[in-house]
């Protein structure tokens, strides 16, 4: 038996079905207005950039509305980007939000706070090495600790504004 790689049509249909299932609202309404189409196209570029930076296949990256964060624009508040990378070999989901200091070039890794379980930004990631440095830090240099912003934690969380243990 021979296995052939699926053709473009088959992969395109698979991609559409995957998007419909993962982000029904975003996919269904992408043509509604110029703004929604623009956001859709911009997020496609974000997905390509993140996939290249983290060396994962493009279809492992999904960019959807961030349910917790909005950003001000000329036309009012718009939902931020929530970037979900589902690692094909392990199935583990990694979530990122944009790093406002480097638009389109680096992202903030989200992890659950061990105390309040809110998803909070823990490390800026522009390359695979940044993620690796966060996972396996060099103990000669102080860690980049992004956890001091209490905004992401639940109000009574004792970890907000503290150093990691
Ligand atoms: Zn917390």
pLDDT, residue 165, reads 42
User: Rounded to the nearest whole angstrom, what is the distance from the C-alpha of residue 70 to the centroid of ligand 1?
Assistant: 20
SS3 state at 143: coil
Distance CA 110, CA 162 (A): 17
User: Rounded to the nearest whole angstrom, what is the distance from the C-alpha of residue 94 to the centroid of ligand 1?
Assistant: 18
User: Rounded to the nearest whole angstrom, what is the distance from the C-alpha of residue 87 to the centroid of ligand 1?
Assistant: 26
pLDDT, residue 4, reads 76
Whether the predicted pLDDT of 31 surpasses 90: yes
DSSP element (H, E) containing 110: strand 107-112
Q: Return the percentage of the chain with pLDDT > 70, whole number.
A: 88
pLDDT digits 0-9 by tens, 60-80: 999 999 988 888 888 788 889
pLDDT, residue 1, reads 60
Distance CA 102, CA 2 (A): 46
Residue bearing tokens 């000669």:
140
pLDDT, residue 144, reads 58
User: Rounded to the nearest whole angstrom, what is the distance from the C-alpha of residue 119 to the centroid of ligand 1?
Assistant: 8
CB atoms within 5 A of ion ligand 1 belong to 113, 115-116, 153, 157, 159
* DSSP code for 55: T
SS3 state at 8: helix
What is the mean pLDDT of the segment spanning 96-102?
Answer: 93
pLDDT digits 0-9 by tens, 132-151: 999 998 877 665 555 556 66
């Amino acid at each position: 038996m021979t296995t052939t790689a699926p053709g473009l049509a088959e992969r395109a249909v698979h991609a559409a079905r995957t998007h419909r299932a993962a982000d029904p609202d975003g996919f269904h309404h992408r043509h509604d207005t110029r703004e929604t189409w623009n956001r859709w196209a911009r997020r496609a570029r974000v997905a390509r950039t993140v996939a290249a930076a983290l060396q994962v296949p493009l279809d492992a990256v999904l960019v959807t509305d961030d349910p917790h964060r909005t950003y001000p624009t000329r036309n009012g508040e718009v939902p931020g980007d929530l970037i979900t990378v589902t690692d094909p070999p392990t199935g583990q989901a990694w979530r990122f939000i944009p790093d406002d200091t480097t638009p389109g070039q680096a992202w903030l890794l989200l992890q659950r706070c061990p105390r309040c379980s809110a998803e909070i930004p823990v490390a800026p990631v522009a390359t695979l090495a940044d993620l690796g440095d966060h996972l396996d830090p060099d103990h000669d240099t102080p860690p980049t600790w992004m956890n001091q912003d209490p905004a992401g934690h639940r109000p009574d969380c004792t970890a907000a504004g503290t150093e990691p243990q």
